[in-house]
Amino acid sequence: MARDILLQICRQLEPGSDGWWEEFVLPHRADLTITACLMMIQRDPMTREGRRTRPIAWEASCLEEICGACSMLVNGVPRQACSTLVDGLKQPIRLEPLKKFPLVRDLLVDRSRMFEELKTIQAWVPGVRLDDTGPGPRIAPELQQVQYALSRCMTCGVCLEACPQVNRRSAFIGPAAIGQAWRFNLHALGAEAAEARLRTLTGSGGIDDCGSAQTCVEACPMKLPLTDSIAALNRDLTRLALRDLWRKWRMIWRSRREMTGSEG
């Protein structure tokens, strides 16, 4: 097993500056992850040509695929560096930052839009008071399983990266936030804000922008039912639109009747 690992890493020191590629050769060991490789380079930051290079910036914390920090492109595929084993990857292994988010440095990007979007869709159970007592409403185990599956979203950004509809020219909110909207609409107390959540997902940037490419579901490391969320909220939105239409029609009908009434 004396095989070496060849890594190609996309470098860029700050936003707007020129990027370049660097190559690194590392000794192969069993069960190595991409993170372990990046750590080896930190300890000995020598390129393939034998040139000392600056430390590589990337985001990482838990290293067990639960915090969502270390998303990057590995051979063009968005995924978590910490759970990507070197064995089984095609060499040279190419590491690039996610492209759908503003670059900070090297493999580090700014995903703050995702946290802002959680505000937009009111991703919380409203009206929780700390000094109340007793448990929340009963929940059927089947519903709990769906809520749990949705609630595992670690805001890693992989689904946005994979979605063809998310790009610089589009305002599409993306699959992650839609999944969370469904998660809270499915909760007995969270549903209080269900209509408000639906309304933020109408119009430009909303659910209509989904092109049904299904890439989000395939890419999601937590296997969230993202396309199910989009389908479910689409149905709810149709229902809401019909209700809006009915209300509008009824208003017109009433006002016309009043008008005809006064004429009579």
Partner 1 sequence: MSQHRRDQCVIVVGGGLAGLMATLHLAEAGISVDLFSLVPVRRSHSACAQGGINAAVDTKGEGDSPWIHFVETIYGGDFLADQPPVLKMCEAGPELVYLLDRMGVPFNRTPTGELEVTKRGGGTKYSRGLFAGASTGQQMLYALDEQVRRHEAEGRVRKFEGWTLCSLLLDSAGRCRGISAMPLAAKMTVHAFPAWGVLLATGGCGGLYAKTTTSLICNGAAASLAYQQGAHYGNPEFIQFHPTAIPGEDKCRLVSESLRGGGGRLWTYRGGKPWYFLEEWYPAFGNLVPRDIASRAIYRVCREMDLGIDGKDQVYLDVTHLDSRQLEVEFGGAIEIYEKYTGEDPRTVPMRVFPAVHYSMGGLWVDASHRSNLEGLYAAGECEHLYHGANRLGANALLACLHGGKVVAQSVVEDLDQEASPLPGREIEAEVERQEDWNRRLLEGGGSENPFELYWTLREAMSHYVAVVRTSPDLQKMREILTELKVRYTNLNLGDSGRWANPALALARDLGHMMVLAETVTAGALAREESRGAHYRPEFPERDDSRWLKTTVAQWTPDGPRLWYVPVDTSLLTPRPRSYATDFLEEVRR
171: buried, middle or exposed (CB in 10 Å: 19+, 13-18, 0-12)? Answer: exposed
- Candidates 120-128, 195-203, 210-218, 253-261: pick the segment binding partner 1 (CB under 8 A): 120-128
Q: Which residues in 225-254 contact partner 1 (CB under 8 A)?
A: none
Q: Which residues in 177-206 contact partner 1 (CB under 8 A)?
A: 184, 187, 189-190
Q: Which residues in 162-181 contact partner 1 (CB under 8 A)?
A: none
Which C-beta is closer to partner 1: that of 71 or that of 215? 71
Peptide bond preceding 45 in cis form (omega within 30 of 0) = no
Q: How far is the CB of 113 from partner 1 (least distance, A)?
A: 12
Task: Supply φ then ψ for residue 168, to 5 degrees.
Answer: -60, -25
User: How many residues bind to partner 1 according to rule CB under 8 A?
Assistant: 70
Q: What string of DSSP letters covers 125-177?
A: -TT--TT--S------HHHHHHHHHHHT-----HHHHH-TT-STT-----HHH
Tally the residues of the chain: 264
- Candidates 71-79, 123-131, 207-215, 238-246: pick the segment binding partner 1 (CB under 8 A): 123-131
Assess 16 for contact with partner 1 (CB under 8 A). Answer: no
Kindly list the distances between the CA atom of residue 211 and the CA atoms of 27, 79, 121, 166, 230, in Å, as whole numbers in the listed order.
Answer: 43, 22, 20, 10, 11
Q: Which residues in 21-80 contact partner 1 (CB under 8 A)?
A: 29, 31-33, 35-36, 39, 42-45, 52-57, 59-69
Nearest alpha carbon to residue 217 among 184, 190, 178: 178
Assess 140 for contact with partner 1 (CB under 8 A). Answer: yes
Category of 150 on φ-ψ map: left (φ > 0), alpha (ψ -120 to 50) or beta: alpha
Assess 13 for contact with partner 1 (CB under 8 A). Answer: yes
Q: How far is the CB of 178 from partner 1 (least distance, A)?
A: 16
Assess 155 for contact with partner 1 (CB under 8 A). Answer: yes
Task: Please work out, in degrees rounded to the nearest 5, the angle formed at the alpha carbon of residue 12 by the alpha carbons of 165 and 172.
Answer: 15
Q: Which residues bind partner 1 (CB under 8 A)?
A: 13-14, 29, 31-33, 35-36, 39, 42-45, 52-57, 59-69, 82-83, 85, 104-105, 108, 110-112, 115, 118-119, 122-126, 128-130, 132-136, 138-141, 144, 147-148, 151-152, 154-155, 184, 187, 189-190
